[in-house]
Structure formats: C-alpha cells, structure tokens
C-alpha cells in the first residue's frame, strides 16, 4: 500500500486552492438610508454615533435630504433603500405606482408657525393676505400647513387667502428677518433658534394643538422588504435603541444633536447667551420620539391622506393601512 507524505504546508496549499474555486457569497452591501435633516430624525444619527447599527451587525450609509419629496425621488431611482421621512410623500408615491410601506414611527411633533417678533402677526387670523414660507409642495409639512393649520384651524383658503413661498427650511429664518416672508412654517431646531434669539415669535405650535401627533416614519419598498428583511429588522432594533437613548440620556443626546446640527450660541434680547444645548432643550418642548404606530397615529396618517386627496396630490382616495406594514417592527421588538 502506497503511503502519501503530506506536509502541513502542502495541506494548507491544497485547502486554499480548493477554496479558490468555490463560489464567493458577497456580504450584504450597506443599507442606504436617506433622512430629512431635521432634529426629529435624531434617532438615525444617534444610532450611527452611539454604535447601535454596529451592535446589530448592520452597515449603513446615511444621506441627508432637504425634504420628503427629494427622498422619495431617490428611493424611486434606487439610490437609497430606506427613508426617514414624513408619511405624505410615502403614500403619494405609493398612489403613483411605487410600492412602498411604512414600517415604524420615528417621532411625534416638530412643526410650528413662526412670525417676526416685531411684526403684525400674533394669531392665525392675522395670516390673511400674508406671505408664508413653506417647504416643497406635497411634502408632509406642506400638507400639514395647508390642510390642518390654514384650512381647518385658521379657516383660510391656502390657495386664495395667503401666499405660500416654497423654500428650504434652512433659509426660512433668514427670509423672515429680511422681510421676504411674513411668517414661516418650519421645524426644529429652527423654531427654537428664532424664538430664543428674540427675532421671531411662535404663533402656532402644532404639537400643542395636536399633542403627540406622529410625524417622521421609516419606509422602504416591498422589493427591499422582501430581499433584506433581516437587515430591516436590525435597522428597526437600532432605531428602537436610539429612541430609548434619547429618552433616557437627555443631556448626552442633546449634546450629540447640538453637534450634529452645528448649532451656534445665540443671544437673547436681554443679551444672555443661549447655548446650543439650550436650543435643543427648548426644541424638545415641541417634539419627542416614539417608534410604535398606534391606532391614533394611523388615524392621523389617514387624516393627512384625506387632505392630500382634497388638494389634488392623490389620484384616488387611499386607506392608511394600505401603506402600513408593522410586521417587521413586531419581530424587531419581540425577538432578541
């Protein structure tokens, strides 16, 4: 019987040669996440900076956007996989053929109408005939402004009684100070910046009128849901951990938010310096974070859908549950 003398080095070489011909299974690429650059979407930044994505073994690529419509264009073009966005752009694109689903909530609150502190606007009734800074037509903020704030609450026709001036939210305070607009419908931290420096007054706080109204949601296409359910579950777990961190570690998370948004100290009318963290603290009075979509949240999304249909932004009426799928969220928070 012949004996073969196989050295350790020879065996290793044989193993490597064998492995070289095996098919290589590519690792999942990073999950590409687009988010509206607003303080209310802080969970995605916290999850990245505090390592919650990494703890789930999930690689992500984060891209900020100015508003929801821009994000939906990116997701429709296949440039991102997941959106942290308002619900209206999600269901509007769904109605036009993009098969999207809302997976979870991100936050509640954020919006307020701000006017010049030395101007004539003190109540919503003073808005008639005025110019109001608004985000992109069809964005969540636009639907909320025209539907709830102007039509339902102020009893004004948003097409006839006021002039809406579309602009990025980051330009609104400058436009307000320059007199380009008389009021601005904006989100945090811009609301608190303007109020604390004394150049603007909060005329209408939506979270006060609609306590805990849901705002940003996590959405994705059914294609991504079907192809990468495990990665989306990891994302939802990381988001859940980030929200817990925001609620349990207020001082630390406020520092992170102030840095992420590059907030600068402001001077109050009395000359007192307002720190970036104080701006974030003030902003918390108009927003908070929660990821569970409860029945009242779904009812509010339905209300936004109804506004959108009335405004001609939807080709047909929709039901909120047509675009909501919380099955992955349920798995994320119950299976660890």
Q: Is the pLDDT of residue 181 over 50?
A: yes
Tens of pLDDT, residues 214-226: 999 999 999 999 9
| Topology alike, domains 31-109+213-334 and 112-209 | yes
pLDDT at 27: 64
Domain boundaries, the chain: 31-109+213-334, 112-209
CA atoms within 13 A on the CB side of 251: 0
Neighbour count for residue 156 (Cβ, 10 Å): 20
Tens of pLDDT, residues 255-309: 999 999 999 999 888 889 999 999 999 999 999 999 999 999 999 999 999 999 9
Tens of pLDDT, residues 108-158: 999 999 999 999 999 999 999 999 999 999 999 999 999 999 999 999 999
Q: Residue 174 has which token pair? A: 């400058």
Contacts with 134 (C-beta within 8 Å, 6 or more apart), sequence order:
141, 142, 145, 164, 165, 166, 167, 185
168 burial via Cβ count (<10 Å: 0-12, 13-18, 19+): middle
Kindly report the CATH number that applies to the domain delimited by 31-109+213-334: 3.40.190.10
Confidence of residue 13 (pLDDT cuts 50, 70, 90): very low
Confidence of residue 335 (pLDDT cuts 50, 70, 90): low
Q: Is the pLDDT of residue 99 over 90?
A: yes
pLDDT at 271: 87
Q: Indicate the fold that domain 112-209 takes in CATH.
A: D-Maltodextrin-Binding Protein; domain 2 (3.40.190)
Tell me which DSSP letter residue 148 carries. I
Taking the C-alpha atoms of residue 293 and residue 172, their distance in angstroms, rounded to an integer, is 31
Name the percent of the chain lying above pLDDT 70.
91
pLDDT at 68: 86
User: Rounded to two decimals, what is the model's pTM?
Assistant: 0.89
């Amino acid at each position: 019987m012949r004996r073969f003398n196989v050295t350790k080095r020879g065996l290793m070489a044989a193993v490597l040669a064998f492995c070289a011909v095996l098919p290589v299974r590519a690792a999942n690429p990073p999950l590409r996440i687009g988010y509206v650059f607003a303080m209310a979407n802080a969970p995605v930044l916290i999850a990245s900076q505090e390592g919650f994505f990494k703890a789930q073994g999930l690689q992500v690529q984060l891209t900020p956007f100015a508003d929801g419509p821009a994000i939906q264009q990116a997701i429709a073009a296949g440039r991102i996989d997941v959106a942290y966005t308002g619900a209206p752009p999600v269901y509007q694109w769904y109605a036009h053929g993009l098969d999207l689903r809302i997976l979870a909530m991100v936050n509640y609150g954020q919006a307020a109408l701000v006017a010049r502190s030395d101007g004539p606007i003190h109540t919503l009734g003073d808005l008639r005939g005025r110019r109001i800074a608004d985000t992109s037509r069809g964005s969540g903020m636009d639907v909320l402004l025209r539907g709830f704030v102007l039509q339902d609450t102020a009893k004004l026709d948003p097409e006839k009684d006021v002039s809406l001036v579309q602009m990025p939210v980051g330009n609104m305070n400058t436009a307000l100070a320059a007199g380009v607009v008389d009021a601005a419908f904006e989100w945090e931290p811009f609301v608190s910046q303007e109020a604390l420096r004394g150049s603007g007054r909060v005329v209408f706080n939506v979270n006060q009128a609609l306590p805990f109204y849901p705002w940003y949601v996590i959405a994705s296409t059914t294609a991504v849901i079907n192809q990468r359910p495990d990665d989306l579950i990891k994302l939802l777990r990381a988001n859940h951990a980030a929200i817990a961190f925001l609620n349990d570690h207020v001082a630390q998370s406020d520092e992170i938010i102030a840095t992420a948004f590059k907030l600068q100290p402001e001077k109050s009318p009395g000359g007192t310096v307002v720190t970036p963290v104080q701006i974030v603290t003030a902003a918390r009075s108009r927003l908070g974070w929660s990821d569970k979509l409860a029945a009242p949240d779904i009812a509010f999304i339905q209300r936004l859908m109804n506004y959108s249909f009335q405004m001609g932004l939807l080709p047909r009426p929709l039901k909120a549950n047509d675009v909501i799928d919380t099955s992955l969220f349920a798995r994320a928070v119950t299976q660890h």
